[in-house]
Structure 1
Amino acid sequence: MFAGSENKELAKEWIKYACGVEGMTTWCSGAGCLPSRPDVAEAMDVESDPVWKVHSEMTSIAIPWQLEDTCSIINSACQNFLPLAVSGELSAQEAMQQANSEIANAD
């Protein structure tokens, strides 16, 4: 909430809704993004969708990457290995390990 919000009570209610199960499920389903809350991921049944399942599995093995001037390297690694995980050619863990290695060894 912004310090200068004119209607702080309404802002609080919006934040509660948007961060709650119903609001986050609505947002993530409509926007096509993975929820940050495990209970919302369960409500959305992300594990039954092969694409969402890969993304969900990767959250437990992902490492933070610095964008700075390496954005193209990160993008290339994602394009190289995410499709292999989604297709089942690699496990999510194998894909992340290979992507992380490619990023770490890039010049």
Structure 2
Amino acid sequence: MTRRTMAARRRATADRNARREALLVLLDQAQRGTTLARAEAALLLAHVTAEWSEADELRRTVAGQQNAIQRAEERIRAAEAAIVEAEQDAARSAADRVHEPREVQVP
């Protein structure tokens, strides 16, 4: 995963907002039955393709994050099980020591 600077994020957000504004204008024209010029149709296709691309990238990122969360949860469960096992071993060991015969030293 790449890290982007705040400036890059702001630029990407501004680009996305501009693209979406243009999409709204083009879709409004199409809805009103206005025929789109070739350049407008090409722009519409480019904007929709860019939105699909960003959506696909976001889905891949989310899937990767979900996988990372699942792996972390599995590690936590394993660690918790190891702690419980260690505590049980310590309790058994302490109980065994209580029942062991002790040497008594006579003065």
TM-score, structure 2 as length reference? 0.24
TM-score, structure 1 as length reference? 0.24
Q: Which one has the bigger helix percentage? A: 2
- Work out which of the two has the higher radius of gyration on C-alpha atoms and give 1 or 2: 2
